[in-house]
Chain A
Amino acid sequence: MAMVGSSIEQQPQIILLKEGTDTSQGKAHVVSNINACTAVADAVRTTLGPRGMDKLIHDDKGNTTISNDGATIMKLLDIVHPAAKILVDIAKSQDSEVGDGTTTVMLLAGEFLKFEKIFIEDGVHPQNLIRSYRTACYLAIEKIKEIAVSIEGKSMEEKKSLLAKCAATTLSSKLIGGEKEFFASMVVDAVMAIGDDDRLNLIGIKKVPGGNMRDSFLVNGVAFKKTFSYAGFEQQPKKFLNPKILLLNIELELKSEKENAEIRLSDPMQYQSIVDAEWNIIYDKLDKCVKSGAKIVLSRLPIGDLGTQYFADRDVFCAGRVAEEDLRRVAAATGGTVQTSVNNFVDEVLGSCEVFEEKQVGNERFNIFSGCPSGQTATIVLRGGADQFIEEAERSLHDAIMIVRRALKNSTVVPGGGAIDMEISRFLRTHARSIAGKSQLFINSYAKALEIIPRQLCDNAGFDATDVLNKLRQKHALGTGANYGVDINTGGVADSYTNFVWEPAVVKINAINAATEAACLVLSVDETVKNPKSESAQGEAAASAMAGHGGAAFRGRGGRGMRR
């Protein structure tokens, strides 16, 4: 850059890095990073727990989202501060790994950092803190594994009710918490339906505005909204018992066969024959579909006027422009395969189900396939008032589904409601006493930071957190009250385990792990160097030329988005 040369001339100083590079380092830098992270954690703090409040986020495109899912909020907040981005990352990681507990993980990370900050300001070397926190994290996870109750080896029915408890705990903190039992059993049924091959996209969630939450229902198969249809559609039968289902990926419409083909005729007499040929091709295709014995024809591509009428005449149901996702689910559910050619259908490519029917749901019509042989899919049809409400309900259900899947896979549960956090906290405090040296303090602070979960639960519910926490500490200290957590209904303490406030152990393990990792990562950074963006290199060069000696001008605006 030209600037480098000229600044050497003006002011003989050493320019090591590119002009416009923003660097900051030292203890103040660590503290400022921590501040940024706690600010982010504060943003989601109030969403924790059954009494947590929701956030309304209005983005630049005018979309409104109401959510109390930490990951969703973080995604929408569009955070630019490099250190705070780490928190966003862990929320995402929690979301993809476990599906729920995104608020928990951010809250924990924020709280860890808050306690670390005090030590940093007192002059403790970050590495010492990091080491202790890692040890504490390891101990905490071991403790969780020890406390966790396995649901392995129980009968199917028992397992189901256990899983429903887990789902209910997750759902209780969401917008649809009022109907948690209703949805919990629905979610468990859905997850059980897809069985071992747990591909998340086999569970479909369809949203239909109108009606009430209780009108939501689970289809043991596939359901999708009636697709765009042509004339003749209404004459088709709308209900079949044990139909054969043909799935297509071809257009059943009159159209040119290939783009790169051209017809040249020397004899005008032939013209009619070409027209006939085109009709023959389409009739031939339709005929083959019908001959295959299928009673239902679905295609990803349009089925035109002609096709719709043709099928209607032969008592066959058809639907074109079925979303690919839905078509795949139908294929998985009915055991058919999607065909790209109408030639040589063999029986095994056809799917089947017990009942197919078209049903009115709200003001939409739904095609519903139920009683599918492979039984690997499930669809939840959600009803509710406003759009935002249904969307949040969908996110909540997604969380619950993930929780149930994880619980099924790892099959251990721990008491919720802050009980497990209190127990780890107590355990770490006791452990800390056996350590000589600085580490004792750090592990104690880690233990204290874990208390944020019950504390925040109380705060959000409007209880006196100090009071409740003291009660909890006492219970846990007795050694017999390891399962005691916050009772959100009475404002006291209660045995979470007997109250069926359960969550999968993996949620807690992952949350503690991720939060510790993030806290350590933020702490381990002692210097930030921000290079100027290359796209705007030209613009910045011009700006710096105007500002005379550019470096100072940038220092103000670079990187420090979230000062507090």
Chain B
Amino acid sequence: MGFQMQPYGIQSMLKEGHKHLSGLDEAVLKNIDACKQLSQITRTSLGPNGMNKMVINHLDKLFVTNDAATIVNELEVQHPAAKICVLAGKAQQEEIGDGANLTISFAGELLQNAEELIRMGLHPSEIIRGYSKGITKTIEILDELVEQGSDTMDVRNKNEVVSRMKSAVASKQFGQEDILCPLIADACIQVCPKNPTNFNVDNVRVAKLLGGGLHNCSIIRGMVLKNDAVGSIKKMEKAKIAVFAGGVDTSATETKGTVLIHNAEQLENYAKTEEAKVEELIKAVADSGAKVIVSGGAVGEMALHFCERYKLMVLKISSKFELRRFCRTTGAVALLKLSQPNPDELGYADSVSVQEVGGVRVTIVKNEEGGNSVSTVVLRGSTDSILDDLERAVDDGVNTYKAMCRDSRIVPGAAATEIELARRLKEFSFKETGLDQYAIAKFAESFEMVPKTLAENAGLNAIEIISSLYAEHAAGNTKVGIDLEEGICKDMSTMNIWDLYVTKYFALKYAADAACTVLRVDQIIMAKPAGGPKRDQPAGMDED
């Protein structure tokens, strides 16, 4: 179809097959539309009453989740402008680990409102200016909304941690946050280092075991390995542990070699010497005081035989990351080669035992005292998708803990902050003289999206809720938000629902940035995809 027409304008400069879109209608509004569509998908997942999405990715894996970061990750968004929103969400996920949905939905709302402004006749650059002013002012106001006295907190105080974590976890697993939060808080507090800012999220592990229910969840100081011990010794208490990264086996040469035997005597002794060598090595390990051997690779039959003989428990951990964590838990140094470990290279665990949980045999490595570097949240649930979703909730909780270790300031949750921001920003907009007044007003209006969505998702009347919220806030009750359970407006400080300041801060900032970036684009030029469909093939194979 394009072939008959004579190429003109920019088309004539480009190779055939390029796409070129420009102008308000073709580029800006289309982009806005795409972002809007994306935010519509994620929006219904916002808040405690958000709905789940079932996403089946290209590898046929099923996700059932309301975690926006996961949804957009698996959606494989193609549209370039919508991708900007996705990236903003991902940035939020990486920076804070929570609030990705707020970022994407808010960016979508900002863009939707921008569309109205454009139709009114404003130029995108004016909108961008207004939005930039809006976000700067928002952050100023947000600073003022911070709850008094919340900037210092004891990150080891469970109650304080739980109150800050609750809203993040509740938005993923509503109705179950009362069970999950204390678990996550305990796990985090256990591994919190002396200097809380060094808290490493990797130190809180999650073990998902099918079967049972949420009330069977527990935390373990130490690790849960999802496999059985190798030998017949399944339990060891107060054990020193030797870790060998390279595997416990007779050493074989890498280079292909053949043993030359010259006479009968050599033949007879061949097997014996090998055996003696293995025994010597295992004996050396046993002599060092170790009671448990952990192998990062294969465990040879001969080696296992002698381990049993010397009453050593043998564990196999094939994942290098897992092995590293194991070393951290027990304080062991991983040795490359099977040899006698020095006393300071041995780790220690209070108990290492194999237990059966829900039909699966797991090895539980416990360290009640001292070695508090790794803790594990054991999740139980009836389906894989529930477990995966619980895991994401735990991840969010742990990330929130990390965030609060750095900055513990909090703001009222459940849309109280948003409404206050909207109200104050609107007031601010009236004082502006330029055209950006409109943009700032719209920016303020965008905040209404949060209470609106929360109310809609909960099956409440959004308009009623928002108006009564405004009324309360105008009356000076700045901490009033939505109580979703009863469907009325309440003071959030009494309900103890708080959001972390940093989460809000970054979510709003990223959203505003993303919106401005999308608005700034007025031309899209797409190169012709090279190579045709075959190009995807190798990548697809790799992922398998």
Q: Give the residue name and chain of the B residue nearest to A278 (CB).
A: B267
Q: Check if B58 sits within 8 Å of A534, measured CB to CB.
A: yes
Q: Give the residue name and chain of the A residue nearest to B278 (CB).
A: A341
CA distance A280 to B382 in the complex (A): 59
* Chain B 509-544 residues near chain A, CB threshold 8 A: 526, 528-529, 532-534, 536-537, 539-541, 543-544
Q: Check if A93 sits within 8 Å of B385, measured CB to CB.
A: no
Rounded to whole Å, the gap between the CB of A109 and the closest CB of chain B is: 9
A343 interfacial contact with B, CB 8 Å: yes
Q: Check if A90 sits within 8 Å of B382, measured CB to CB.
A: yes
Given contacts A14-B33, A260-B257, contact A521 B75 (CB under 8 A): no
CA distance A284 to B268 in the complex (A): 10
Q: Check if A92 sits within 8 Å of B210, measured CB to CB.
A: yes
Q: Give the residue name and chain of the A residue nearest to B41 (CB).
A: A527
Q: Check if B534 sits within 8 Å of A538, measured CB to CB.
A: yes
* Chain B 43-85 residues near chain A, CB threshold 8 A: 44, 49, 51-60, 62, 64, 66, 74-79, 82
CA distance A155 to B26 in the complex (A): 83
B367 interfacial contact with A, CB 8 Å: no
A320 interfacial contact with B, CB 8 Å: no
Main secondary structure of the interface of A (DSSP, over half): helix
**What string of 1s and 0s marks CB contacts (under 8 Å) between B207-218 and chain A?**
000111101000
B344 interfacial contact with A, CB 8 Å: no
B271 interfacial contact with A, CB 8 Å: yes
Task: Select one of A198, A261, A533 contacting B270, CB under 8 A.
Answer: A261
Q: Check if B2 sits within 8 Å of A531, measured CB to CB.
A: no
Contacts of A82 in B (CB 8 A): 54, 56, 62
Q: Check if A534 sits within 8 Å of B543, measured CB to CB.
A: yes
A518 interfacial contact with B, CB 8 Å: yes
Q: Check if A2 sits within 8 Å of B532, measured CB to CB.
A: yes
Contacts of B76 in A (CB 8 A): 17-18, 21, 531
A277 interfacial contact with B, CB 8 Å: yes
Main secondary structure of the interface of B (DSSP, over half): mixed
CA distance A529 to B76 in the complex (A): 10
A331 interfacial contact with B, CB 8 Å: yes
Q: Check if A525 sits within 8 Å of B51, measured CB to CB.
A: yes
Q: Check if A2 sits within 8 Å of B533, measured CB to CB.
A: yes
Interface size class of B (residues with CB under 8 A): 35 or more
A510 interfacial contact with B, CB 8 Å: yes
Given contacts A332-B232, A340-B301, A529-B75, contact A537 B458 (CB under 8 A): no
Q: Check if B529 sits within 8 Å of A1, measured CB to CB.
A: yes
* Chain B 116-130 residues near chain A, CB threshold 8 A: none
A127-135, A177-185, A488-496 - the one binding chain B: A127-135
CA distance A337 to B17 in the complex (A): 72
Contacts of A534 in B (CB 8 A): 58-59, 536, 539-540, 543-544
Rounded to whole Å, the gap between the CB of A224 and the closest CB of chain B is: 18
**What string of 1s and 0s marks CB contacts (under 8 Å) between B247-277 and chain A?**
0000000000111111111011011100100
A281 interfacial contact with B, CB 8 Å: yes
B450 interfacial contact with A, CB 8 Å: no
B308 interfacial contact with A, CB 8 Å: yes
**What string of 1s and 0s marks CB contacts (under 8 Å) between B77-96 and chain A?**
11100100000000000000
CA distance A284 to B271 in the complex (A): 12
Q: Give the residue name and chain of the A residue nearest to B274 (CB).
A: A258
Given contacts A127-B459, A257-B271, contact A16 B77 (CB under 8 A): yes
Contacts of A125 in B (CB 8 A): 49, 457-459
Contacts of A527 in B (CB 8 A): 41, 44, 51, 53-54
A166-174, A262-270, A383-391 - the one binding chain B: A262-270
Q: Check if B544 sits within 8 Å of A510, measured CB to CB.
A: no
A514 interfacial contact with B, CB 8 Å: yes
Given contacts A17-B77, A261-B259, contact A521 B53 (CB under 8 A): no
Given contacts A14-B79, A16-B79, A527-B51, contact A9 B533 (CB under 8 A): no
Q: Give the residue name and chain of the A residue nearest to B62 (CB).
A: A82
| Contacts beyond the supplied A4-B78, A127-B174, A559-B56: 13 A-B pairs with Cβ under 8 Å | A1-B536, A14-B34, A90-B383, A92-B210, A130-B175, A257-B270, A261-B260, A262-B261, A328-B232, A514-B382, A518-B383, A533-B58, A534-B539
- Point out residues on B near A: beta carbons under 8 Å: 1-2, 17, 19, 21, 26, 30, 33-34, 37-38, 41, 44, 49, 51-60, 62, 64, 66, 74-79, 82, 174-176, 210-213, 215, 232, 257-265, 267-268, 270-272, 275, 301-302, 304-305, 308-309, 356, 358-361, 381-386, 457-459, 485, 526, 528-529, 532-534, 536-537, 539-541, 543-544
Can you list 22 residue pairs at the A/B interface with Cβ under 8 Å?
A: A16-B79, A17-B78, A89-B210, A93-B211, A94-B211, A97-B211, A99-B359, A124-B459, A126-B51, A130-B175, A131-B485, A261-B267, A262-B258, A263-B260, A277-B264, A337-B232, A337-B309, A340-B301, A341-B275, A534-B539, A541-B536, A542-B533
